[in-house]
């Protein structure tokens, strides 16, 4: 599969991949405007704007948008992340231009009607309430706040209730004018569509529509000290998230860290899953996950456990992490993990939607086209000794950030991790 990228005369970038054997086309517009752009005073505005783009244009009501998309047998949606917002449509190949026109309409001709804003505020406030009731998410957000401190990456994507209630139409238009510009936007198209057709669609519906400007990646590299925070709730399950500093998105060691994450807690054969759940039955849910940003990265461990097992589950997880930190991965784990990574990249090329998102994020973060064949080759050629050296620099237990949500406990969770440094 060949990927290509061009830059139009106004500075807008198109990244494209033509896929054989599929009938779908995914068209995504990714802009570098996420909660990482925000301040405490406007936290949540990126996500609220994402919602409002679907609430009506000069020629379409919100119902017209979804009705016309449904009539085409297509999908249209969006999501907000820490450093990006993506608006996208996925459709049958012969409807790609019609769907692109609708996507263009919502991006350039939305009205942000004040009455629609008030209705949508209620929707977002309900979304915040739902997230407040998802204690695993609360725990993850608490750990993120501990790790990033005052950096905007530590703020929640949904924002705060007070901010959402205060947003005005002028607030939204001002933020869009500052952060939605051609230098911070990438259009990604993947599926059964030629490069020439993709270029024609982008030129017709998107080129020349954004103002000039560049994305200011505001996150700065961090090396925080160890910290902990306890949020006591009278709930049935206790939640623990442990966050460690890791490599940024384009690090030369990113494959080694992905391998580490896979073996640590990336699946049912991972060390954490086997030791904490299968061997001792201390948790139903235990896993690790990474967060990669332009200038920062995190490696995180999550444990959902019975309140009576909090201390023991934390001890076992800390032992697993300390053992990997000291002894690295076995050769068998190394080989198995590489095979899992290779499989993930191969399978990731079979979904037009997934491929569109990968290409868009890589182009936005690096300015380059993602090379799947080259990536798979990199994974195949990864050296065991070099990977072991890179992994040895991860999981600094002396700087662990530990968040806990659950019933009141006298367990010192942070000490369980830092004492094994």
pLDDT band at 348 (very low <50, low <70, confident <90, very high): confident
Q: Are 110 and 191 in contact (CB under 8 A)?
A: no
Look at residues 100, 86, 15, 363 and name the one whose alpha carbon lies nearest to residue 1.
15
Rg from Cα positions in the chain: 22
Task: Give the whole-angstrom CA distance, residue 200 versus residue 75.
Answer: 21
Using a 10 angstrom Cβ sphere, with 0-12 exposed, 13-18 middle and 19 or more buried, the burial of residue 332 is exposed
pLDDT band at 222 (very low <50, low <70, confident <90, very high): confident
Average pLDDT over residues 382-396: 94
Q: Which residue has the tokens 């911070």?
A: 184
pLDDT by residue (tens digit) across 98-137? 999 999 999 999 999 999 999 999 999 999 999 999 999 9
Using a 10 angstrom Cβ sphere, with 0-12 exposed, 13-18 middle and 19 or more buried, the burial of residue 58 is exposed
Question: Is the per-residue pLDDT at 218 higher than 70?
Answer: no
pLDDT by residue (tens digit) across 12-58? 999 999 998 999 999 999 999 999 999 999 999 999 999 999 999 99
Which of the residues 38, 50, 333, 394 is marked catalytic? 50
Q: Which strands, in side-by-side order, build the sheet including 75-80?
A: 3-7, 13-18, 185-191, 24-31, 85-92, 75-80
Q: Are 132 and 231 in contact (CB under 8 A)?
A: no
**Per-residue DSSP letter, 353:** H
Using a 10 angstrom Cβ sphere, with 0-12 exposed, 13-18 middle and 19 or more buried, the burial of residue 319 is middle
Rounded-to-10 torsion of CA 241, 244, 245, 247: -90
Q: In which element (H, E) is residue 52 found?
A: helix 45-52
Q: Residue 38 catalytic?
A: no
Look at residues 351, 316, 37 and name the one whose alpha carbon lies nearest to residue 190.
351
**CA distances to 387, 409, 418 from 307, in Å:** 37, 8, 21
Q: In which element (H, E) is residue 392 found?
A: helix 384-392
The share of the chain scoring above pLDDT 90, in percent, equals 94
Question: Is the per-residue pLDDT at 219 higher than 80?
Answer: no
Q: Which residue has the tokens 């910290």?
A: 227
pLDDT by residue (tens digit) across 149-167? 989 999 999 999 999 999 9
pLDDT band at 1 (very low <50, low <70, confident <90, very high): confident
pLDDT band at 217 (very low <50, low <70, confident <90, very high): low
Q: What stretches of 192-327 adopt beta strand conformation (E)?
A: 227-232, 238-245, 283-292, 297-305
Pairing between strand 283-292 and 185-191? unpaired
pLDDT by residue (tens digit) across 292-327? 999 999 999 999 999 999 999 999 999 999 999 999
Q: Which domains does the chain have, with CATH numbers?
A: 3-205 (3.30.830.10), 227-418 (3.30.830.10)
Task: Give the whole-angstrom CA distance, residue 113 versus residue 202.
Answer: 27
Question: Is the per-residue pLDDT at 67 higher than 90?
Answer: yes
Q: Where are the alpha helices (DSSP H) in 304-351?
A: 310-327, 331-348
Question: Is the per-residue pLDDT at 220 higher than 80?
Answer: no
Question: Is the per-residue pLDDT at 406 higher than 80?
Answer: yes
- Helix axis angle for 254-265 and 331-348, nearest 10°, is 110
Residue-averaged pLDDT of the chain: 95
């Amino acid at each position: 599969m060949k990927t290509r990228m061009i830059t139009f005369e106004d500075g807008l970038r198109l990244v494209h991949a033509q896929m054989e054997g599929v009938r779908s086309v995914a068209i995504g517009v990714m802009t570098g405007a996420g909660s990482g752009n925000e301040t405490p005073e406007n936290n949540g505005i990126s996500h609220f704007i994402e919602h409002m783009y679907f609430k009506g244009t000069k020629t379409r009501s919100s119902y017209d948008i979804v009705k016309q998309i449904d009539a085409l047998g297509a999908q249209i949606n969006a999501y907000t992340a820490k450093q990006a917002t993506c608006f996208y449509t996925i459709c049958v190949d012969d409807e790609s231009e019609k769907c692109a026109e609708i996507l263009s309409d919502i991006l350039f001709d939305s009205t942000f009607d004040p009455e629609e804003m008030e209705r949508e505020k209620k929707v977002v406030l309900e979304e915040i309430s739902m997230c407040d009731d998802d204690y695993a998410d609360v725990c993850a957000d608490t750990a993120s706040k501990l790790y990033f401190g005052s950096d905007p990456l530590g703020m929640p994507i949904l924002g705060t209730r007070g901010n959402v209630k205060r947003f005005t139409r002028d607030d939204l238009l001002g933020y869009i004018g500052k952060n939605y510009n051609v230098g911070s936007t990438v259009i990604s198209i993947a599926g059964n569509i030629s490069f020439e057709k993709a270029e024609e669609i982008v030129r017709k519906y998107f080129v020349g529509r954004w103002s000039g400007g560049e994305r200011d990646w505001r996150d700065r590299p961090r090396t925080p000290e160890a910290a902990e925070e306890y949020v006591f709730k009278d709930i049935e399950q206790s939640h623990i998230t442990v966050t460690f500093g890791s490599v940024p998105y384009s690090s030369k060691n990113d494959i080694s860290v992905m391998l580490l994450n896979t073996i640590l807690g990336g699946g049912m054969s991972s060390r954490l899953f086997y030791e904490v759940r299968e061997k001792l039955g201390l948790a139903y849910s235990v896993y690790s996950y990474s967060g990669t940003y332009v200038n920062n990265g995190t490696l995180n461990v999550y444990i959902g456990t019975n309140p009576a097992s909090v201390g023991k589950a934390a001890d076992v997880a800390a032992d697993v992490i300390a053992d990997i930190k000291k002894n690295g991965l076995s050769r068998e784990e190394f080989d198995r993990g590489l095979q899992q990574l290779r499989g993930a990249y191969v399978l990731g090329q079979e979904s037009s939607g997934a491929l569109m998102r990968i290409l868009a994020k890589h182009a936005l973060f690096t300015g380059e086209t993602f090379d799947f064949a080259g990536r798979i080759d990199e994974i195949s050629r990864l050296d065991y000794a070099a990977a072991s050296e890179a992994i040895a620099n991860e999981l600094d237990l002396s700087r662990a950030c530990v968040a806990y949500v659950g019933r009141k406990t006298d367990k010192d969770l942070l000490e369980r991790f830092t004492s094994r440094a």
